[in-house]
A and B are shown apart, each in its own frame.
Chain A
Amino acid sequence: MAADPAPGDTGCAAHCPVAASMPDGCDRARGPARDLPMFRHCGVSEPASIRQMVEGVLHSARPHLSDEAIGRLELVAAEVLNNVAEHAYSGRPPGPIALTLWIDAGEVRCCVTDRGGAMPAGRVPTAALPDVAGKAIDDLPEGGWGWALIDVLARETCYCRLGNWNRLFFRVPLRPPVDDAF
């Protein structure tokens, strides 16, 4: 995918229930998502606003999810939103972010949209975990875990650039895989 393709759906439509013509319109759930409980949280790309959005996600999901699933959803939502603030809006004034979630029987579907810069190479970055084995304290990483955490906590992560918008869709299972170190 090119870094900044022409407006239009570039492949997420099969997963993402958001109307392609309304990249900020996560409330326009399509298809099977239409009847699911849906919640939308909007903010700007600043830490305090992101914290409010994450707390809003918790508030929305708490009646539907176990504490364990809530914990995974909270972490992946925070990492995705932090990435938008730190990378998509890097070198730009703070801008809008929207996170919409749909609660389904076995998963939470999430869609995050923003008006920042496109992801490098137009796709989700590779998610290598920073190496820490045998490192001296001064050589330990102080970041770089975000996409690795998203990769292990979310499923079917899918990115689209739509005009001046970014859209990221992912699913968080309600039950953790039994053989992962959750």
Chain B
Amino acid sequence: MADVVEVKRLVEKSGLTPEELTTLITLVLTHGLAFVLEEVAGREMDKDALANRAEELFAGTADRLAARRAQVEAE
């Protein structure tokens, strides 16, 4: 059961309690790791930086949607 030993090592290294770890795993499973990490990063930004980051995400999503639509329509 080498995996169990590795999990034990990682849990101890993280310093998280079992309850905190359960919360983290639940959030990641429910929302996805990338979503959770972006939310965490956002909480550390001030209002202007957060507003700029939101605009950056909106613009990136708009660009990808348009590019992928064009690609699919051309297939």
A and B assemble together? no
Point out residues on A near B: beta carbons under 8 Å: none
- The chain B residues found within 8 Å of chain A, CB to CB, are none
